[in-house]
């Protein structure tokens, strides 16, 4: 059997952020210049986002607290806790998200039990603690204490690809391997108010969420399609090193997301795809619109617009990415997994469908993957959903 993602599940925190309400809070913060207020309005309104989720319960904009840390609902002030306070919140709130997503992925994979898992790969760039999320997942799910554990930290929005690539390598080296990949990001822990355009852009986009997948080459029973992991490639663009970055400051992590990023992607996306598509005879020479699905990391609305225009894709090919952005925002490394889940859950007739996937991150790094949706046809035709309701 080829190395296949046999299950893919997601989880989000309970607190919902309505984009228009959050915009009004940020626009009303003291210290904003007129230009800053205009940038807040433009960034939030043009984001393509309607709702996001956050692990910061205070951001319900209603909950009262005697000792507010991130947001004071009474004064409507966005507060600025230290990096330590933010990271402590990460350790507390990220753990249940990692565990929930992982538990769902395990439960959704027939023929796999805790005793079968041989490797755990966890991913996050929004906080640190040790023993880390890989350890917490092993303990919570009752996995073998001898399971091989790996954590990919601080890589940014593209990090799901190195995790899936590692899972594929493990399964190719050991045909009996079963790899649990879990990514969780709490980007909203690092939100702050500022007149800086990069900070405002990040505040309008970033959100919290988690995703987990079971990857294996085992021949397992299944009544639903899986995603075969065919090929991966990595490309560094010749420019853009300082246009996208993720730094640690005294008051949280600081995102650099320059307005030139969509232009860099526009200029270099075709070249970034060439080494990936050249590896597969079935897609060589095919127009981009003939590849059925495009699982693009929705780093922002303008990035999706550039990808669609440059590759001359049909509008329907970007629906999974745009709907993920609309309903969940940019959850850094977890986001492309939500897009893949949208595609995985869509009605399937049983004929193989190709998926080209891309994510962008600091560097500027472009990670690409060529996959195949394959297996049993879908038994129902209920609309696909990017995520189940959260239970944490």
Beta-strand (E) ranges in the chain? 4-11, 15-18, 51-54, 71-72, 77-78, 119-124, 148-153, 178-186, 208-216, 225-236, 244-249, 252-257, 293-296, 353-361, 365-375
Q: What is the DSSP string of 42-75?
A: HHHHTS--SEEEES-GGGGS----SS-SSEETTT
pLDDT of residue 388: 60
Residue stretches of the chain with pLDDT short of 50: 381-385, 387, 390-392
pLDDT of residue 161: 98
pLDDT of residue 286: 81
Interatomic CA distance for residues 286 and 281, integer angstroms: 10
Tens digit of each residue's pLDDT (9 = 90 or more) over 50-90: 999 999 999 887 767 778 999 998 889 999 999 999 999 99
Contact yes or no for 71/81 (Cβ under 8 A): no
pLDDT of residue 83: 97
pLDDT of residue 63: 66
Contact yes or no for 218/167 (Cβ under 8 A): no
Give the contacts of 303 (CB within 8 A, at least 6 positions apart): 261, 262, 265, 296, 297, 360
pLDDT of residue 289: 87
pLDDT of residue 66: 76
The active-site residue, picked from 109, 157, 171, 356, is 157
- H or E stretch at 88: helix 83-107
Interatomic CA distance for residues 27 and 38, integer angstroms: 8
Going by C-alpha positions, the residue among 241, 384, 257 that lies closest to residue 323 is 384
pLDDT of residue 383: 44
pLDDT of residue 246: 86
Contact yes or no for 238/271 (Cβ under 8 A): no
Kind of pairing, strands 208-216 and 178-186?
antiparallel
Q: CA angle 139-144-146, nearest 5°?
A: 110
pLDDT of residue 391: 46
Which DSSP symbol is given to 206?
B
pLDDT of residue 212: 98
How is the chain split into domains, by residue range?
A: 225-375
pLDDT of residue 129: 96
CATH 3.40.50.970 fits 225-375, yes or no: no
pLDDT of residue 381: 43
Phi, psi dihedrals of residue 307, rounded to the nearest 5°? -60, -45
Place of tokens 């209920």: 382
* Total Cβ atoms within 10 A of residue 150: 17
Q: Which CA distances in Å does 191 have to 4, 97, 247, 251?
A: 36, 19, 13, 10
| pTM exceeding 0.75 | yes
pLDDT of residue 61: 74
pLDDT of residue 169: 98
Residue 171 annotated in active site: no
């Amino acid at each position: 059997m080829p190395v296949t993602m046999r299950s893919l599940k997601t989880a989000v925190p309970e607190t919902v952020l309505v984009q228009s309400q959050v915009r009004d809070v940020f626009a009303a913060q003291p210290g904003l210049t007129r230009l800053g207020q205009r940038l807040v309005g433009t960034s939030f309104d043009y984001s393509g986002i309607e709702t996001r989720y956050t692990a910061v319960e205070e951001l319900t904009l209603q909950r009262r607290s005697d000792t507010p840390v991130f947001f004071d609902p009474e004064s409507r002030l966005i507060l600025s806790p230290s990096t330590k306070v933010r990271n402590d919140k990460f350790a507390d709130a990220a753990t249940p998200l990692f565990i929930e997503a992982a538990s769902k992925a395990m439960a959704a994979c027939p023929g796999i039990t805790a005793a079968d898992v041989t490797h755990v790969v966890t991913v996050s760039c929004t906080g640190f603690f040790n023993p880390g999320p890989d350890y917490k997942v092993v303990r919570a799910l009752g996995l073998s204490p001898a399971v091989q554990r790996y954590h990919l930290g601080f890589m940014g929005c593209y990090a799901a690809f190195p995790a899936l690539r590692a899972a594929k390598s493990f399964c190719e080296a050991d045909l009996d391997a079963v790899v649990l990949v879990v990514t969780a990001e709490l980007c909203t822990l690092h939100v702050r108010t500022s007149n800086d355009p990069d900070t405002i852009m990040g505040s309008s986009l970033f959100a919290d969420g988690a995703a987990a997948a079971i990857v294996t080459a085992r021949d397992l029973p299944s009544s639903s399609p899986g995603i075969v992991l065919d090929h991966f490639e990595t490309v560094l663009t010749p420019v853009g090193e300082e246009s996208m970055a993720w730094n640690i400051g005294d008051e949280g992590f600081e995102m650099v997301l320059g307005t030139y990023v969509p232009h860099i992607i526009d200029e270099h996306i075709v070249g970034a795809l060439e080494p990936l598509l050249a590896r597969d005879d079935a897609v060589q020479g095919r127009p981009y619109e003939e590849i059925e699905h495009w699982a693009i990391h929705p780093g922002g609305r303008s990035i999706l617009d550039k990808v669609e225009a440059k590759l001359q894709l049909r509008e329907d090919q970007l629906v999974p990415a745009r709907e993920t952005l609309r309903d969940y925002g940019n959850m850094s490394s977890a986001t492309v997994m939500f897009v893949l889940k949208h595609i995985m859950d869509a009605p399937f007739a049983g004929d193989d469908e190709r998926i080209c996937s891309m994510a962008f991150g600091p560097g500027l790094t472009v990670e690409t993957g060529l996959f195949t949706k394959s297996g049993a046809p879908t038994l129902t035709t209920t609309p696909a959903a990017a995520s189940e309701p959260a239970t944490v």
